Chains A and B, each alone.
Chain A
């Protein structure tokens, strides 16, 4: 055994330092860890080295022993601490030996290492700790040691303070003195982090009064921290870390204040580290307290003012104001306000001087400073308001010039806002004293001739109203009537909007009566012919319906009005089929206008409540409770009775879609837990509407005005509900599916066909596998595929056949989407059919007669499949889908497009390009980038294709790629420029020219200058024609693009 040991020792000693040496020590350590009695043998073996007179031999011996100790601990297989492995006697011997060796300068680094290991892994006695400290402070001059040794020394001290605090404390002030000596002049950030930690611990746990000044000085020299880590820094020390560690040293004791504050103030004035200085000052303010701050308050005040008036940087300004608040909070606390008054007096005097010229530059910074002081505490706020509000009020009343008045008002608003954020618990709010003064000022402002002043007045009144306990009941009611008056009658849109917003903020359940009574009154007096005024009233009602209690009160107003309007008699327009075109809308009756406005208001309330944003108080459950069922029954019961408004709007597509949107938004957002009763009633109603034996829209393919409406609204309920709900409907869905698909294929009405396709998709998306194979895979799909195959082999002979095939294709596309997004294998096969046979379907001989062919429709399917539809099959509408289906589609099918494009004839190439273009626009860029190089040639082909729509969508794709893959496009810059320049003067469409010019403009900034600069002159002179384009909108884009290219300069970075 001894032989094995001596061999290992010899190897370790002769190994070159560095990795080899560590390796050898490790092996040795493993050997010793197996049997710890071998450690004694090791020490005996090392005796010649440890006691050698030659320096390097001794160093090697000590280093080996230190490394082995460290490694034994780490390598110990049972991970038994060193303390239990080594007998106490041995530990004591080792410690005594190492303490003695602290005097041996060349060995000190390794000795410190070994002592650190022993101190952290074993339990040393008090005598040993004191002896280590004493010897170390007496014999080792840390600042002159190399980096590693300094680190070891600081680490040892930290271990001692953390593990043996009680023992170390008996060293008393000596420890503090020694520490100051040890960290003096340290420069390495790694060591500084240790030093700062030790500094804090020393002040917390040791008597340091004798050395306050030294302790302050030893850390203040590092302020402000200017360290910036080198690139690829392996240690990961950040400047922020150092700043915070140093700040901890500063705030640890108020006794340091007299020495640190002058440094901070001096650095604030003289360096560019303003934010760091200010943040440190902020932290110190609360740590040092009144006593610490007192002697420096005047100086601090002067500096803060100086910085505030001269800085132009937002973050510095923010830091100044934070400091101001922190200081104000400290010195305004408690009964004695004298310090605060001393501090604020000069501040008030100087700021008041600037506040007297409210339209000049320094007024705002002055106000901000005072406001920052005011938000700190109630007493501070009181003091600041006393010294500003009366003065500003007086100034406002005396001013005649609009600008001055407005500026004064802005300042007042600032003080109002500041005192608003003050948290007052049981006393009166300081603002209450001034509520009548301010209210009268704001009331006079709202009747000022200048709209901006009126807006500011509104803001002021709102401020008074929303601070608890400031405004009196009388002020509240007069403000609310002011808001109502302005919101309805003011001539300026901006004032009306602002007043409406004010009502939305200030109306709550307590004051709702007042406002609602007044609004209802207006609704009865304003006639339907005064459409704009009525619209504004509905807008106000919409805006204030922003909490559940209010919506419960306003919802009946909206819904009753809708019902009343439907029954009202109107003259039928001449031709009902054109109601959705603009010319018909222009001549719609006042009743219809009103109906649409009210319906849109409800839709807005629902959209807001269903968005589930934090700041919106409305919840889907309230919407379901108040709006869902009434709107649903309204939508189903719309009767096409001629002579009433119901007859007109029941076929108006935009009205029908709005109704469906309202229902869908609520159902999508509602959860079963909160709204089970409403949801189940809604589902019953929807099913009843679809399956009623006499009125069912799906009992035959005969078209009826109500058919498409009922299907759309019913699918909004049935297809978007929570998963639990949809699952419980499985059998009903399966039974309904054949009827729906029949309609999708054969209904003469295009809208009905479309809605049925979507509904079929949504149903199939949720069907269980068993039902799916029974009803879809074996029944429906073969039938559809047969129709598609027919279309793919021969061009349709008749228009009826064409329509039939198109309908089959549309249904196929929606079913494909339904299956593909849920990750069903069928979906994959169906996409392939679309991209192979369907895209290659023969065209009609007369292409001009049918601009959108079957093949085109198949190519457009990528758009339907890849974009999120509002109605069904999206995440929002709770479709059954697996994430990343877009990526899956793209990676598995883009090859089909490339192959298909190469194999097909010229006439059909465009359809592949169209499909590709839709893919590029909808697939996340991470996936695109790998496939893109093979697709780029196709993209460039599309840019010169005759089809305008294709070119347009390709330009859009390129536009998006410029953001996502600039590096790839950069290598094709000349080609791209050639195409875009040609497109920029294309006579085919101005939209093309605009898009191409926007793309060119983006290229100048998105692509690297090395790629674009060589073409600069070509583009600049080429665009000369585009800037003289006959169309204004084109010229605008041409000018933008050309100027971007002019701005290009030769890249200096090469």
Chain B
């Protein structure tokens, strides 16, 4: 129902096109550097996740994603963050440490104290135990999976 949707008309931008596949890549002996990894999310199109705000450090095994909720009071921020995090956990090798945070200054609850919850979204998202616990919850898992199901 339309009334359930927050921010019906977000600004839509074109997504980055897939990097072109060069002939050299077909050669098995060439090793592609790993930081050319694709960012798989179409959240990109509504500027929630942007290429500029993703940092990948292959040597130190760390990935940091800053995302931007479309409006400052977006109630979906936690779910979006959780989805991004789950997607990365599922898609990246285990050696990476993944950080998913709201981009500073774009959401009402990014830090503790500013909102009625004692835990900020950022803290929730990066607490391994809380994420694991969240995914134990069947309803939440269904919601996350629904977000991550490719459109066919």
Contacts and interface: CB of A to CB of B under 8 A. Distances in A.
B116 interface: no
B148 interface: yes
B76 interface: no
Interface in A1027-1049: 1027-1028, 1030-1033, 1035-1036, 1039-1040, 1042-1044, 1046-1047, 1049
Given A361-B8, A361-B9, A1047-B148, A1027 B32 contact: no
Given A310-B2, A312-B2, A1043-B87, A1028 B93 contact: yes
B148 A1032 contact: no
Contacts of B17: none
B149 interface: yes
A1032 B58 CA distance: 14
A360 interface: yes
A990 interface: yes
Contact of B25 (A312, A361, A1027, A1031): A1031
A1042 B2 contact: no
A1035 B2 CA distance: 38
B96 to A, nearest CB: 9
Interface in A999-1054: 1020, 1024-1025, 1027-1028, 1030-1033, 1035-1036, 1039-1040, 1042-1044, 1046-1047, 1049
Interface stretch (B33-41, B47-55, B66-74, B104-112): B33-41
Contacts of B42: none
A253 B9 CA distance: 46
Nearest to B26: A990
Nearest to B27: A990
Contact of B32 (A312, A989, A1030): A1030
A308 to B, nearest CB: 13
Given A1027-B93, A1028-B93, A1030-B31, A1035 B145 contact: no
Q: Is the interface of B mostly helix, strand, loop or mixed?
A: loop
B21 A1033 contact: yes
Contacts of A990: 26, 28
B60 interface: no
Nearest to A1025: B93
Contacts of B28: 989-990, 1031
B90 A1035 contact: no
Contacts of B149: 1047
A310 B150 CA distance: 27
Contact of B94 (A1024, A1036, A1046): A1024
Contact of A1024 (B87, B93, B142, B150): B93
B37 A1035 contact: yes
A1039 B91 contact: yes
A990 B8 CA distance: 44
Contacts of A1020: 90
A1047 B87 CA distance: 11
A1031 B40 contact: no
Contacts of A1042: 90-91
A361 B37 CA distance: 36
Interface string A291-315: 0000000000000000000101000
B95 A1031 contact: no
B9 A1039 contact: no
B16 interface: no
B127 to A, nearest CB: 21
Interface in A847-897: none
Interface residues of A, number: 25
Nearest to A1033: B25
B152 to A, nearest CB: 8
B92 A1027 contact: yes
Given A1030-B31, A1047-B145, A1036 B93 contact: no
B11 to A, nearest CB: 10
Contacts of B90: 1020, 1039, 1042-1043, 1046
Contacts of B142: 1049
Contacts of B36: 1032
Interface string B63-91: 00000000000000000000000010011
A1047 B142 CA distance: 9
What class of interface size applies to chain B in its complex with A?
Answer: 20 to 34
Contacts, number: 54
Contacts of A1040: 150
**Residue from the set B28, B40, B142, B145 with the largest chain A CB neighbour count within 10 Å:** B28
A1035 B40 CA distance: 12
A988 B34 CA distance: 20
A1024 B92 CA distance: 8
A1032 B32 contact: yes
Contacts of A1047: 145, 148-149
B38 A1036 contact: yes
A1036 B149 CA distance: 16
Interface string A811-848: 00000000000000000000000000000000000000
B91, B92, B94 — which one has the most chain A CB atoms within 10 A of its CB? Answer: B91
B84 to A, nearest CB: 13
Nearest to A309: B2
A1043 B25 contact: no
Contacts of B31: 1030-1031
A1027 B63 CA distance: 15
A1043 B148 contact: yes
A1007 B56 CA distance: 35
A1047 B144 CA distance: 10
Contacts of A1049: 142, 145
B8 A1028 contact: no
Contacts of B38: 1032, 1036, 1039
Nearest to A1044: B150
B8 A1031 contact: no
Contact of A360 (B9, B21, B25): B9
A360 B9 CA distance: 8
Nearest to A1023: B90
A949 B117 CA distance: 59
Interface string A12-32: 000000000000000000000
Given A1030-B31, A1031-B32, A1043 B8 contact: no
A60 B92 CA distance: 81
A963 B138 CA distance: 30
B91 A1043 contact: yes
A872 to B, nearest CB: 32
A361 B9 CA distance: 8
Contacts of A1033: 21, 25
A161 B36 CA distance: 80
Contacts of A1032: 25, 32, 36-38
Contacts of A1030: 31-32
Contacts of A1046: 90, 145, 148
Q: Which of A1024, A1028, A1032 has the most chain B CB atoms closer than 10 A to its own CB?
A: A1032
Interface string A278-297: 00000000000000000000
Nearest to A1001: B150
Interface string B2-15: 10000011000000
A361 B2 CA distance: 12
Contacts of B145: 1046-1047, 1049
B31 to A, nearest CB: 4
Contacts of A1025: 93
A1043 B21 CA distance: 23
B95 A1028 contact: yes
A1032 B28 CA distance: 11
B44 to A, nearest CB: 16
7 contacts: A310-B2, A312-B2, A1025-B93, A1030-B32, A1032-B37, A1043-B91, A1047-B148
The 8 A-B residue pairs whose C-beta atoms are closest, nearest first, are A1028-B93, A1032-B32, A1039-B91, A1030-B31, A1046-B90, A990-B28, A1047-B145, A1027-B93
Given A360-B9, A1030-B31, 14 more contacts: A312-B2, A989-B28, A990-B26, A1020-B90, A1024-B93, A1027-B91, A1027-B93, A1031-B28, A1033-B25, A1035-B37, A1036-B38, A1043-B90, A1043-B150, A1044-B150
